[in-house]
Structures are given as C-alpha cells and as structure tokens.
Structure 1
Amino acid sequence: MSQTLTEVPAVAVIGVGGTIAMVPTSAGGVSPQLTATDLVQAVPGLAEHRLSVVDFRRVPGAWLSFADLDELLAAIDEAMSAGAAGVVVTTGTDSIEEMAYYLDLRHTRPEPVVVTGAMRNPATAGADGPANLLAAVVTAADPAARDRGVLVVLSDEIHLAARVQKTHTTSPSAFASPNAGPAGRLVEGTPRWLTGPVTRRSVPTAYSGPAATAPRVLLHTVTLDDDPAFLADAESRMDGLIVAGMGVGHVPAVLVEPLTKAAAAIPVVLASRIGRGPVLTGAYGFPGSERDLLDRGLIPAGFLDPLKARVLLRTLLASGASREQIRQVFTADVS
C-alpha cells in the first residue's frame, strides 16, 4: 500500500558541495556552484518525499575541516530537532570516508544521517549524482535506518561510515566496505538491509581531562627502507601519531627506537597500510613486529584503516580523553 505525501517521513537535505554540485567554469574544469535546492530540483522522484533543504557550503571535499564538520553537526541536530526523521548530506567524495566517520563518532541520535555524493559531475554524460541523491533520501526515510548511525550511500549500496572506503579514483562504483561488505542495497528503489544495527563507537563531547585545542595528529605510512628522520622527535611536534605499518602491523627495525620514544609521551596507534584486515597483536615476535610494538606502548587499531584511526584519535584528543581512555576506545570490541 502506497503512502500519502503527508505520511512520508520528512528528510532534510544539507548541501556541502563536492562533485555532485559542480559545473564547468569559464577558466576550465568544474567547481561546486549548485545549491542544495538546485540538486533536489534536478532529481526525478523526489517530489514524492517531504523535504527541507539547507545550503550549508559549496566547497570541494578536500577543503573541509573539522571546524566545518562541527558546524555541520549543529545543522544536522537543528534539522532533526525541527522534525526531520532523517538527514541527507551531499558532499565531495574526496573526504567522504573520513567526514562520515567523524559525524558517526559524534552523532548519537536515533535518526539516520546519510552521506552521499557523485563521481561524475552534472555536466557529464551518465552523471551519478541524481540517482545517488534519490537513493540517499529513500534510505534516510526508511524506519529501518534508525539506530544505524551515519551511512554512506552511493551506487545503490548502503555502507556503514566506520567501514566504507574509497577504492577507485574515477569509477562510479568507487566505494566499498572491504572488511564486511555493504550493510544494504537499494533494490527497485527500496532499501534492503543485509545486516542488523551494529555496536558503534561514539565519542562524548568531553571527557574529564583537558581537551587539546585543534590537536595535531600525524599519519605516517611506513615504506620500504623507511627513514627514521621522519619520525624523529614526533612527540614534540604532535599530540598523537598514527603509524600505518606494513602487513599486519610491522615496521623496519630503524623505526623501533623513535616509535618507542614517541609512545612514551603521546598516544601512538598502530594500523595497517593495507586497508583491509586487522592489525594483529601476537603472531610475530621480531623487533618491529606488531607484538614488539604493542609491548612498547603502541595501541592497536584493530580493523580501522589508517584514515579512520586518525579521525578517531584526533576526536578523542579534542574531547580530553586520557591515554588509558584512548586505549580502551581503540581496543573495544565493536563492529
């Protein structure tokens, strides 16, 4: 039985920019100029939904800052407080896997937040933005999306913010969740869920400790024959450090000393540069192995990829979490 328009849950669409909002410029290339209203009006099928529209930003995804995302969280909360059953955020895909995860760490209400974008701009043949926006609105309006936190919807796939990764620079099907697969798919315009709600990490606005102001968190990707000079005195320059190690969490022997020194002073999190699979905790025992590094005070990232590990560590530091609280959050058994 079809719903009447007044029975359809209200969805707020908040435009942030990105390729989905880009049009050609006189100087060449494209830039984000379309408003959120422009995007909504260009999508067949959205007339069946009750929508409110907020033109929040018109910027490339690479320009976003954590300060922008804090303002975006306030806009999301305002929309939900005004009665929206869900919120759709249109943004750039360059940073979507990081920004969606940050929103997920901060968003604690049951109403869903669905982040979407496009790989092809509106002036391109086969532009994917309209279909992605429609799928995102349908997902945000689905009662089964409640209590799932922040979702990323592109190419008719629904991904959890904590799992999704951008896996291709240009393909319309660029997004995947390598460690678990999508949480759902759009089938004939309807969300079909493949998993139930999962246990999520969330970071309180403030822990009991002093919050770091704009904490500096370095992400260092370990490479063959790496130079320890890059990590020398990292603890004096940074508030936290993410190490994207080789394989299951290994580093060259020359990095053991600077990492040991850093871990004695600041939180150092060990992730894998692979982006698929977990960091191990006890399989190998040589200097620079995951077991050796964890014994020296590094914190395992589990299944979190390096980009999301950096977002989580920075969010915890900005909230005043202690070293022990940071360790507990990273090592918690969550999906």
Structure 2
Amino acid sequence: MLSADRDPNHTVLVLTLGGTIAMTRSSTASGVTPTLTGSDLVAAVPGLQDAAEVTAEDFRQMPGASLTVSDIVSLVDRLQRADRDGVNGIVVTQGTDTLEETAYLTDLYYQGSTPVVFTGAMRNAATAGADGPANLLAAVQTAVSAGARGAGILVVLGEEIHAARHVRKMHTTSPGAFGSPSTGPVGHVVEGAARFHHCLNPISPVPLPISDLPSVEIITASLGSSGTLLEGLENKVAGLVVAAFGAGHVPETWCARLEALAAAMPVVLASRIGAGSVLTSTYAFPGSESDLLTRGLISSGVLDPYKARLLLIAHLAAGSPRPEIAKAFLDHS
C-alpha cells in the first residue's frame, strides 16, 4: 500500500466548471443554480491550506449536463499549460451528471505529468450535510500525493479514489453515488493522506482534434425494439455505439442494418449493463456477440457505452484509421 506525505508547501490549482458543488439558491430561481466561484469553494473548506497552497480559477460556470466535448478539449489545453507552470497538483470541480465522461475524455487527451483529480458534490452548498467541501479537501490531498503521479486522471468523492477509465455514477442522489463496478476504487483518503491499493497501466494518449468534432451517437437495445432508429444513420453520424443487451447481443432484426452501417462507419459494440466485458465467442445465434463481430462491428471490450463513444469521438477527430480505432478498444481490455 502506497501512502502520500502531506506537505503544505505543495501548490494546487483548482479549476472550477460549475455543477452542484458550486450551486446555491437565489432569490430569482425556485431551485439551485451554479453561483459560487472557485474562491468561494476554497474559502469554505476548513484545513484546505494546511494540505497545500491552493489557488482557484473559474474556467466554466454551468451545470454538468451542459458541458461539451469542446469544453473538455479547452480544459485539457489549460491543464497542459498548468503542467508546464510547475504546480504540484490540479483539481477540477464540476457537476456530477457528466463527471465520469469528462474525466475519462481528459484521461485520453492529457499528456502532462502533474496529477489531475476531478471531484464534485451530490448535495449543494445550501443543503445540510453538503459534501462539496470534504470532497474538495480529499481531492487536493490526493492531487499532491506521490501515488497520484503517473496514475492517470483520478476521480475522488466520498474519500474514495477512482480511475477515470473505470468510474461510474451509480445513483441519482446518494452521496456515495460513484463507484468502479468492475474494479473497485484504486485507493482511499485516510486521515488526510491518499493511500493507493494498486497502480494502473497508462492508456495510450489520443492527439487533440485536427478537425471538427464528429457526431457519434448511442443506440440502446431494448425488448422488442424494431431498430427503426438505425435507419439512415450513415447520412447523419460519423460513428455509432450500440448499447447491447448482456454480453453484446441485439435483436435479430437489427443485424442487417448494423452490418450495413459497419461497412460505412465505425460501429462499436458495447454492453448496456455497465460492468463486465463484451464477449467475443461464447454465443453464436444471429445478433450474438460473435455474429455481430463477424459483421464488422468493433468490440468495446470493458468500456461502457458512454466511454466507448468518447474514445470513438477522440479517434475520429484525430483522423485515426479503423485498425487503429479497433486497437484502441482492445488496449482497454
């Protein structure tokens, strides 16, 4: 088990994007909206400056649901500049609606050596038991730890440390909403120090986009679905992710359409389950995983549909050929 030494001389940059962690009630709205600045968030955390010298910068101020891939490409550029400036750690705060996706996309693009930790909150600042301050403190403590260096993008909530490539939001409201169902957390924050239980092999970085971001959508299999939504997609999107049943199965009526689409664009086969891998050769019926792979679909391996979509977008935007795209998914397995 690896633990981090605490050093108040460490410097941490907090980049805020909005989200529940920055939300309060206003006199003009019936619910909460993002209003708190980075300075507000930092000032609300007792003992934060004992962990590191923390500065804050307001990068975006919006709900997590409104963030885009372009926002994250811009965020990565800012992270790269902060890395060159020599800070010891970087923390990104944002809404939890898309945190699992933005953290993973950042993991694909970021090539700096400074640890980057994402965090947020499930309870807004106006709520009893708001979890934002504790999550921010744990994220800063993780960002300055020796174990975080070289570990890829991390997500810290509820004093659990998760790898961006594995973490998922698994509950709509619980303070313990985030987990890594296939692997568990890579570490925990204990008595103010990050303790890592195991390390991860780095994933291959993807070059930043060289052209306009492509349109990639997800189509989910459901009982008795006719597959009507698959029709005409070759004229609308640059790639497709199929969120299939179980280990990678779809209704037999989908097969011909998916085969035609796979001849026109990359079509990735993922599972709608959210834990476990797509199989390759266990089942052989029409619409099974082995049948679909022979029709030209690309297995997502262990990636859920949401992360599979982002990996496909990143490679299409970088101009990667189809064999390189297939290898990228294989490397995640």
Same fold (TM over 0.5): yes
- 1:53 and 1:271 map into 2 onto residues whose CA distance is 38
- 1:79 and 1:110 map into 2 onto residues whose CA distance is 10
2:176 maps to which of 159, 163, 173: 173
The answer on whether the counterparts of 1:110 and 1:148 sit within 8 Å (CA) in structure 2 is no
- Deviation per CA, 1:218-261, whole angstroms, max 9, x where unpaired? 10110011122110122221100000100000000000011000
- Deviation per CA, 1:50-89, whole angstroms, max 9, x where unpaired? 1221111111000101111111112212222222111000
Q: Displacement, 1:151?
A: 0.3
- Deviation per CA, 1:178-214, whole angstroms, max 9, x where unpaired? 01000100111111111123232421236xxxx5522
Q: Structure 1 runs of 4+ off > 3 angstroms? A: 2-5
- 1:29 and 1:83 map into 2 onto residues whose CA distance is 40
Q: Displacement, 1:9?
A: 1.9
Corresponding position of 2:289: 290
Q: Does 1:311 align with 2:310?
A: yes
Q: Does 1:21 align with 2:6?
A: no
- 2:320 and 2:188 map into 1 onto residues whose CA distance is 36
- 1:123 and 1:230 map into 2 onto residues whose CA distance is 42
- 1:253 and 1:212 map into 2 onto residues whose CA distance is 36
- Deviation per CA, 1:161-187, whole angstroms, max 9, x where unpaired? 000000000000000000100010011
TM-score (norm 2): 0.95
Task: Classify 1:3/1:184 alpha carbon distance in 2 versus 1 (closer, same or farther; 3 Å).
Answer: closer
The answer on whether the counterparts of 2:79 and 2:110 sit within 8 Å (CA) in structure 1 is no
Q: Does 1:115 align with 2:114?
A: no
What secondary structure is seen at the aligned counterpart in 2 of 1:135?
helix
Task: Classify 1:305/1:3 alpha carbon distance in 2 versus 1 (closer, same or farther; 3 Å).
Answer: closer
* Letter matched to residue 18 of structure 2: G
Q: Can you give the 5+ residue segments of structure 2 that lack an aligned partner in the other structure?
A: none
Corresponding position of 2:53: 50
Counting matched residue pairs gives 327
- Deviation per CA, 1:260-315, whole angstroms, max 9, x where unpaired? 00000100000000001000000000110000000000000011000000011011
The answer on whether the counterparts of 1:109 and 1:147 sit within 8 Å (CA) in structure 2 is no
Q: Does 1:39 align with 2:35?
A: no
- 2:184 and 2:14 map into 1 onto residues whose CA distance is 26
What secondary structure is seen at the aligned counterpart in 2 of 1:225?
coil
TM-score (norm 1): 0.95
Corresponding position of 1:221: 220
The answer on whether the counterparts of 2:181 and 2:275 sit within 8 Å (CA) in structure 1 is yes
Sequence identity percentage: 50
The answer on whether the counterparts of 2:120 and 2:135 sit within 8 Å (CA) in structure 1 is yes
The answer on whether the counterparts of 2:16 and 2:92 sit within 8 Å (CA) in structure 1 is yes
Corresponding position of 2:257: 258
RMSD over equivalenced CA pairs, Å: 1.3
Corresponding position of 2:65: 62
Q: Does 1:182 align with 2:193?
A: no
What secondary structure is seen at the aligned counterpart in 2 of 1:243?
strand
Moved more, 244-253 or 70-79: 70-79
What secondary structure is seen at the aligned counterpart in 2 of 1:307?
helix
Corresponding position of 2:152: 149
Q: Does 1:79 align with 2:78?
A: no
- 1:3 and 1:194 map into 2 onto residues whose CA distance is 18
Q: Superposition pairs for residues 258-277 of structure 1, below 5 Å?
A: 258-277=257-276
Corresponding position of 1:281: 280
* Letter matched to residue 273 of structure 1: R
Moved more, 226-235 or 254-263: 226-235
- 2:94 and 2:191 map into 1 onto residues whose CA distance is 25
* Letter matched to residue 18 of structure 1: G
Corresponding position of 2:325: 326
Moved more, 28-37 or 46-55: 46-55
Q: Can you give the 5+ residue segments of structure 1 that lack an aligned partner in the other structure?
A: none
Corresponding position of 2:11: 10
Moved more, 123-132 or 8-17: 8-17
